[in-house]
Amino acid sequence: MKRARSEEGISTPCIAAPKRRRVSLPNAAARADAKAGILGWALAVSEAGAPQSMVEQTMADGRARMPRVPSPRRRESKASYRQRSVSPTKKPTEYRSIYLSEAGVFIDHCHDVPAAAAAALDEAVLDAGLQADIHRIADEYCGNCRQSAKDGAGESEWRADLMGAVMRKLARLPPWKDVLKSSAAEKPWRAELKPVRSTAAPLARPMPPPILLSHRSFSTLSTVSDLLGLDTRDLETASDTLSTTTTSTYLTAAESDSDPEALSTPKPDLSIGLAHAWFSTPHQRILARPALHSDPHQAKIGLHFPFLIFEAKSAGSLFGAQNQAAVGAACMLRILEGVGCDGVVWSVATEGAVHELWVHHRVEGKYHSTFVDVWRMTDARGARAFMGALGRILKWGAGTFAGRVLAGLDGLGGAEEAW
């Protein structure tokens, strides 16, 4: 061992640094083409110096440790399917008493079933053959519900029984199979169909000019001008000016989604309306107008003017199901207003085996939900009574309701021809 002498003359042992081992690179790496650069050199070293199995194992381990991050577009798509905008920070009682009431949506304020709803159930008589088919479906559904109640099934199981054992078979019955269409689409409805709360900030947005009666073969403006001694053109100019400067509380879909105080966007578990293929070609042209939102779904599926929706829940959430059905029914009534129809629509709110039937209608410009009846599906008589009411509503929808919608579309077509 060598010793180093310090300035004081004291010799201390000197530890020699270990010799560096010279790593000899493979010939393949040494002869790498200069044009290949660093990448080519690295590839040559890995291929020639390391065993192939080790390289493959290293790459596999790296891929296994790397988390799989979904693309933003995929995340948004999946979120749009699952999200209902259920106002998670609001309690159901607060949501009903404050938010719904401010939007003019009321539940259990009117306790008398409207005459139009009672007439719809009384006029839609089921013949013996149809009633027998409905009873068979009811008996099967009752058996499924008894088993689900015994097993303590969750919401998805109850919903699957309702869709599979009931609606899929009811939809195939002859009186309405070519007229009606049902959908269990997971995407929310169009947010702009929702009523707007009275406390929402008004949005100054130009509104489309209304259809002036003076553009038709007859005019009430001419009568008013004769009485007041005014020129009709002055009235038309004033009407056009007002129509383009009026402040509106109408919310677009983006504005509604960004407003934390807005109502929940409806996403019924099941919707039933009129099938697109059932309408004639002239009526389909009217349905294609951008301003007529007859199909409530964000991506049109050919279901127009829904009149019956289902909100299937479990585990004590019947109160919340009623809230969601009330907003969805308000959207259905607003769709009917687009064709000049002011009638009734229906909803079924379920909590496990308990099924409630509600009718929805307008009273002095407000949207009201009125209780009709309740049944328990584990009881055979209750299941048959519920199915009978459901069958009468479907028959009414394919008959009286569909006729009123056609009359409203004919009115819109006549207004277009008069221009």
**Hey, which residues does 375 pair with through a beta bridge?**
355
Looking at per-residue confidence, does 131 or 53 come out higher? Answer: 131
Q: Is 222's pLDDT higher than 50? A: no
pLDDT at res. 168: 87
pLDDT at res. 337: 94
pLDDT at res. 81: 44
pLDDT at res. 225: 41
Q: What is the pLDDT of residues 311-323, one digit of tens each?
A: 998 776 899 999 9
pLDDT at res. 240: 42
pLDDT at res. 91: 83
The Cα 135–Cα 310 span in angstroms is 20
**C-alpha angle 185/192/184, rounded to 5°?**
10
Task: Flag the least confident range among 50-54, 205-209, 219-223, 336-340.
Answer: 219-223
Q: What is the pLDDT of residues 370-407, one digit of tens each?
A: 999 999 999 999 999 999 999 999 999 999 999 999 99
pLDDT at res. 310: 96
Q: Is 129's pLDDT higher than 50? A: yes
Most confident by average pLDDT, 11-25, 59-73, 123-137: 123-137
Task: Flag the least confident range among 50-54, 279-283, 400-404, 412-416.
Answer: 50-54
Task: Flag the least confident range among 44-48, 198-202, 272-276, 352-356.
Answer: 44-48
Task: Flag the least confident range among 64-68, 102-106, 152-156.
Answer: 64-68
Q: Is 346's pLDDT higher than 50? A: yes
Name the band, by pLDDT with cuts 50, 70 and 90, for residue 413.
Answer: confident
CA pseudo-torsion sign 194, 198, 203, 209: positive
Say what angle helices 380-396 and 115-123 make with each other, to 10 degrees. 100
For 319, residues 6+ apart whose C-beta sits below 8 A from its C-beta are 92, 93, 96
| Total Cβ atoms within 10 A of residue 102 | 16
Mean pLDDT of 136-149: 95
The Cα 333–Cα 331 span in angstroms is 5
Looking at per-residue confidence, does 357 or 220 come out higher? Answer: 357
Distance of CA 359 to the CA centre of its chain: 21
Name the band, by pLDDT with cuts 50, 70 and 90, for residue 57.
Answer: low
pLDDT at res. 220: 37
pLDDT at res. 317: 81
pLDDT at res. 164: 81
pLDDT at res. 190: 94
Mean pLDDT of the chain: 77
Most confident by average pLDDT, 73-82, 150-159, 210-219: 150-159
Mean pLDDT of 212-220: 37
Task: Flag the least confident range among 28-37, 97-106, 169-178.
Answer: 28-37
